[in-house]
Amino acid sequence: MTAPLRIALAGLGTVGSGVIRLINENGAMIAQRAGRPISIVAVSARDRNRDRGVDLSPYKWVDDMDALAGEPDVDCVVEMVGGSDGPALTLARNSLSHGKSFVTANKAMIAHHGMELALLAESKGISLKYEAAVAGGIPVIKGIRDGASANRIERVYGILNGTSNYILTTMEKHGSDFDSVLKDAQALGYAEADPGFDIDGVDAAHKLAILAALSFGTEVDFDGVEVAGIRGIMSADIGQAKALGYRIRLLGMARIDGGKLFQRVNAYLVPESHPLAHIEGSTNAVVAEGNFSGRLMFQGAGAGDGPTASAVVADLIDIARNDGGTVFSVPADKMVKGGRAQSGNRTGKSYIRFVVADKPGVLAEITAAMRDAQVSIESMIQTEKTNEGSVLISMVTHESRECDVTQGLEKLVNSSSLQGEPVVMHLLSDED
């Protein structure tokens, strides 16, 4: 057996500690599969004295995380610090510049700086791996980059944030309102004290930008993702969707539209016949549709120390095998600028929910605005009064251009009848 792959760990939170436990417990098996041992030689974190439930005494402690990049007895640096910029990015740049392979679970850094880091890694002939950055323990990066490499990917989409999915499916099961479920999710540790990255769609957008680059060979373009979260969704929306044969899920969606890259994170009404409608709790699921393979679905735990550590060590095994490959699906210097496809000309059905004053003429006002915008209404439901004396009106449009739906809503912006901003969700279809 050849010399071990010597690694340094930066960040010893739940995932970093999980990597140590996994390597210690499965070390012999990992060595067999990798063709050589994987050996931790150095670690770094902010607090040297914190009890992490693992023995750190066998490893060299380095106070300055960035110094790991220059350690002579380190072959590969593993970063689990987080953040799109700052110390994590500095460590990535310096490690690759020093000729050390780099493994990260940092989705934000790859979404914002993936192109720069990929070009640097490939120019040095070393590996940059990030399986754990998208969907935790699900091997979706390898699945798309390697397993589906003979296919033209038509679209890639899925449930990319476990916190949002937990909230929506809990609301679905119990008829609870958004705020109470969010508080429960925070108490259980599913949601952060500041949950904005999750419930506002930013976390899912980071992952989607990476998946789109892998799937289509386009440069990573996080700024090109249209992002909306789930804050405005009410239990009534979930009930209406169910009555129509749909379930509400926060989806990331990417495809090539007219030669340009379309990327969106938004709540969708998913048909109950679609597998994504049955993904519950904090589970993640990614669907990639290949022109020869058909629909491929990857499902599993999207977070947690065990699944994420598993993905990190799988990347280390690839590096130990000298199984490098390109960072994305094609060499970084061959990736193209996708251009940004705007959603306005996309055609499909939309679900629109209004909270309105309970007074005569409101329904006529809404339908007239939609008529004038060339939007035809397929169905409409008006609920009874809420506790605040308002009325909920929900409608589903016929196939319409999204820009026409937007125009119809703009006609209602100054209406005294509307009490709050309308909620718009798209109905997932095979043509989306």
| Per-residue pLDDT at 312 | 96
Q: In the chain, what percentage of residues exceed pLDDT 90?
A: 81
Banded pLDDT at 70 (limits 50, 70, 90): very high
Structure tokens at 93: 């740049």
167-177: per-residue pLDDT in tens? Answer: 999 999 999 99
200-231: per-residue pLDDT in tens? Answer: 999 999 999 999 999 999 999 999 999 999 99
> What is the spatial distance between Cα 82 and Cα 425, in angstroms, rounded to a whole number?
31
5-60: per-residue pLDDT in tens? Answer: 999 999 999 899 999 999 999 999 999 999 999 999 999 998 888 888 899 999 99
CB-count burial class (<10 Å; 0-12, 13-18, 19+) for 419: middle
| Per-residue pLDDT at 342 | 85
> What is the spatial distance between Cα 283 and Cα 168, in angstroms, rounded to a whole number?
12
278-319: per-residue pLDDT in tens? Answer: 999 999 999 999 999 999 999 998 777 888 999 999 999 999
Q: What angle do CA 151, 203, 124 make, to 5 degrees?
A: 60
376-392: per-residue pLDDT in tens? Answer: 999 988 876 666 678 89
| Per-residue pLDDT at 336 | 93
Which residues have a catalytic role annotated? Answer: 207
337-381: per-residue pLDDT in tens? Answer: 989 998 888 999 999 999 998 888 899 999 999 999 999 999 988
DSSP secondary structure letter of residue 267: E
DSSP secondary structure letter of residue 421: P
| Per-residue pLDDT at 432 | 64
Q: What is the mean pLDDT of the chain?
A: 93
| Per-residue pLDDT at 313 | 96
Domains, the chain? 5-133 (3.40.50.720), 141-301 (3.30.360.10), 346-427 (3.30.70.260)
Distance, CA of 292 to chain centre:
25
> What is the spatial distance between Cα 38 and Cα 30, in angstroms, rounded to a whole number?
7
| Per-residue pLDDT at 134 | 94
Banded pLDDT at 396 (limits 50, 70, 90): very high
Do 373 and 413 form a contact (C-beta atoms < 8 A)?
no
| Per-residue pLDDT at 345 | 84
| Per-residue pLDDT at 385 | 67
